[in-house]
Structure 1
Amino acid sequence: MATIRKKPTGGWVAQVRHRAKNGLPAISKAAVFPRKADAEAWAAKTEADWQTMRFGGSPNILFAEVLERYKKEVSPKKRGWKNEINIIERVLKTPLAQVRLPNLSELHFQEWANGRMADIAQSSVRREWNVLSHVCSVASKQWRLLPENFMLRLDKPNHGKERTQRVTDDMATAIAYVAGFSLDCLPVKSTQRVAAAFYFGLETAMRGGEMVTLTWDNVFLDRRFVHLPDSKNGYARDVPLSLKAVAILKLLAQVRENERVFNITKGSLDALFRKLRERPDLGDVHFHDSRREALTRLAQIYSPMELAKISGHRDLRILLNTYYAPRAEDLAAKMDG
């Protein structure tokens, strides 16, 4: 609380003292002023600063400075740091970044989200939302720059419609043809290795990011599996290999240049695949569709628990609702035995 008292020698002493509570740190400050009005004004401002976490820092900084600090101190520690930094860079170009912390509220984040949803899919906005929300959480709980995470007051955008794109044999063949890939030809070009990765995904249900980081010391052809020491969800797993997957790896082994099995970066994988799919007969196929297609096919062989072990999913609902996409005619055929 704030107290104002007159000094016997003249002037006024303003003091603000609070114990730590509700996540707010303890505070004990005092100052002397010649006039009582000045002492009261200082006490009121100090109280307000404590309530909004502004004391002891830089209260009048831009949200952009918080984003820059997060980008420098927090993002590099994450597995998907490159994508996260790209998201932050985009936010830095928006009006949200130019709002000063004392003025920041949930309304600014809602305006940002509304603008993004006019440009990109809801699922993409949701991913960016999650990054921003964690920025605010760190700024509030760790750095004491915000009184709270304002985004928690808002409704997060919906996931939107999940993709149901299947990869037909004709699509896969077309991708291989455009890339110049086949099991009879050494994949010396990057585009050939991209197609090899796509086919490998159809056989193993591995993510693109897992393939580009796969190293030869984690490949066990004699036992027909690859080991992923660090997957997207932070857990290691072993992925069984079909005979075709083994054949692809043996082909890549013949053009081995370093420890990376596919010898290509995630950025190049994404960019080159976008070029490969420019053919009109490929429709809206994405590289990640190979994972969904593989899981749908593997679901006919394995139980849900076995499938989850292969895919790395720890939530069966996500596995079934997002990735398992059987055709109605296939399900109908099962009814007839």
Structure 2
Amino acid sequence: MASFTVEKRKTAAGVIRYRCIVRVKKDSAIVYQESRTFGKLADARAWGKLMVSHIETQGIPGQQPAVPTIRELIAMYRNDPDISKKIGRTKGYVLDLLADSDISRLQADQLSTMAIINHCRDRNAAGAKPQTVAQDISYLKSVFAAARPVFGIPVGDDVIREVIPVLHSMGLIGRSERRSRRPTEAELDKLRAGLASRMNHHASKIPLTDILDFSVLSCMRISEVCSILWADVDAAERVVLVRNRKDPRKKAGNHMWVPLLGDAWDIVQRQPRDSDRVFPYESTSVTAAFQRVRNALGIEDLRYHDLRREGASRLFEAGYAIEEVAQVTGHRSLNLLWQVYTELFPGRLHAKMKVEK
């Protein structure tokens, strides 16, 4: 346990000095000690606190830190105050799964390409799809990438980067399949009716049908819908500021003004203003209600996120250009939207050619 004390001393010339002593004890025995003298008490204390913090996170200076198991390294990663606040639900779930797997019993410096391949084979054998296993490897890589700079653990992500092309070639990991599922109008009508019935329960307070329709019309993710602030609604322009919008390159601070087209604006206006948020509900509660109703109705292979694609498709069908749709969906890259567009209108260029002739 590291600690420090400050001693007040007077030199032969009568000058007051402050000596800070940092010690590390183990079983009452001093295993490390270092001291430094300062002219100001505040400087002595600041150095002492800095040294104690360094020792507790990086180990005793000059000593090679003990290499933890992968399970212990994952725990360090998850508990870091700056890293933990950026770990989403999916990543947290995958890291917990990794911590319970056989590979996590290895010491971090014993991770090998063979161990990674065997982990992927085991996951595939248990029924996990290649794109699911790819998440394991991606998040494990992020843990190892942080090991040396953040925790002073002498390991890196080189082994993982080396084996990734091999895992792809073996078919053990793969890219996520791009979805094209859209709800039919009949399915949406059934969902509205089912959600409305659920809203009639005395304990229900969530306007599930409004949120369902707003999700389609605004093309927002459910987490974005449930985060909209009344203070960020601009009535003059009929736009809303969506804060920290998801972006592969930048999430924190990625704020975007989004137009609320058509009935989306009306839905917002009829919400009660008894909270700082327009829809002051947990996004997980909304999706849970959606899933229960969907399952009860027997609607297969429909996810809440598919409503976002439905909204974008409707905008294209209404004649909006890709750049205009991107203003609503928030896509920084137009590639995904272009795929949606070409799936909707594969023969539009042929039709345009006929018109030009």
Normalising by structure 2, we get a TM-score of 0.68
User: Paired residue for 1:124, among 132, 138, 153?
Assistant: 132
Q: Distance in 2 between matches of 1:188 and 1:295?
A: 35
Structure 2 counterpart of 1:138, one-letter code: A
Q: Which runs of structure 2 are paired with 1:232-251 in the superposition (5 Å)?
A: 232-233=246-247, 234=251, 235-251=254-270
- 2:196 maps to 180
- 2:187 maps to 171
**Closer/same/farther in 2, CA of residues 158 and 246 from structure 1, 3 Å limit:** same
Q: Is 1:282 aligned to residue 304 of structure 2? A: no
Q: Is 1:154 aligned to residue 163 of structure 2? A: yes
Deviation of 1:66 (Å): 0.5
SS at match of 2:151: coil
121-130 or 275-284: which moved more?
121-130
SS at match of 2:263: helix
267-276 or 135-144: which moved more?
135-144
Q: Is 1:134 aligned to residue 142 of structure 2? A: yes
Q: Is 1:143 aligned to residue 143 of structure 2? A: no
CA contact (8 A) 1:136 1:146 kept: no
SS at match of 1:238: strand
Identify unmatched segments of 5+ residues in structure 2: 1-61
148-157 or 203-212: which moved more?
148-157
CA contact (8 A) 2:190 2:297 kept: no
CA contact (8 A) 2:195 2:289 kept: no
With a CA cutoff of 8 Å and minimum separation of 6, indicate the structure with the bigger relative contact order: 1
SS at match of 2:276: coil
Q: Distance in 2 between matches of 1:290 and 1:191?
A: 22
Q: Distance in 1 between matches of 2:73 and 2:119?
A: 16
Structure 1 counterpart of 2:132, one-letter code: S
Q: Distance in 1 between matches of 2:223 and 2:136?
A: 19
- State the Cα RMSD in Å: 3.1
User: Paired residue for 1:306, among 314, 318, 324?
Assistant: 324
Deviation of 1:292 (Å): 0.7
**Closer/same/farther in 2, CA of residues 172 and 159 from structure 1, 3 Å limit:** same
Q: Which runs of structure 2 are paired with 1:1-337 in the superposition (5 Å)?
A: 56-59=64-67, 61-73=68-80, 74-78=82-86, 80-117=87-124, 118-149=126-157, 150-155=159-164, 157-180=173-196, 190=204, 192-233=206-247, 234=251, 235-251=254-270, 253-254=271-272, 256-300=273-317, 301-321=319-339, 323-324=340-341, 326-327=343-344
Deviation of 1:165 (Å): 0.3
Deviation of 1:333 (Å): 10
Identify unmatched segments of 5+ residues in structure 1: 1-53
Q: Distance in 2 between matches of 1:95 and 1:228?
A: 41
Q: Distance in 1 between matches of 2:347 and 2:205?
A: 33
SS at match of 1:165: coil
**Closer/same/farther in 2, CA of residues 188 and 259 from structure 1, 3 Å limit:** farther
**Closer/same/farther in 2, CA of residues 327 and 314 from structure 1, 3 Å limit:** closer
117-126 or 136-145: which moved more?
117-126
CA contact (8 A) 2:77 2:83 kept: yes
**Closer/same/farther in 2, CA of residues 209 and 178 from structure 1, 3 Å limit:** same
Q: Distance in 2 between matches of 1:308 and 1:159?
A: 24
Deviation of 1:284 (Å): 1.5
Deviation of 1:144 (Å): 4.1
Normalising by structure 1, we get a TM-score of 0.72
Q: Distance in 1 between matches of 2:310 and 2:95?
A: 32
Deviation of 1:175 (Å): 0.9
Deviations 1:38-73 (CA, angstroms, capped at 9, x unpaired): xxxxxxxxxxxxxxxx961112x2111110010011
SS at match of 2:240: strand
327-336 or 100-109: which moved more?
327-336
Q: Distance in 2 between matches of 1:181 and 1:226?
A: 30
CA contact (8 A) 2:182 2:310 kept: yes
Q: Distance in 1 between matches of 2:347 and 2:264?
A: 25
105-114 or 290-299: which moved more?
105-114
Deviation of 1:173 (Å): 1.2
Deviations 1:2-38 (CA, angstroms, capped at 9, x unpaired): xxxxxxxxxxxxxxxxxxxxxxxxxxxxxxxxxxxxx
**Closer/same/farther in 2, CA of residues 298 and 334 from structure 1, 3 Å limit:** farther
SS at match of 1:162: coil
**Closer/same/farther in 2, CA of residues 67 and 190 from structure 1, 3 Å limit:** farther
Q: Distance in 1 between matches of 2:201 and 2:232?
A: 20
Structure 2 counterpart of 1:319, one-letter code: L
SS at match of 1:227: strand
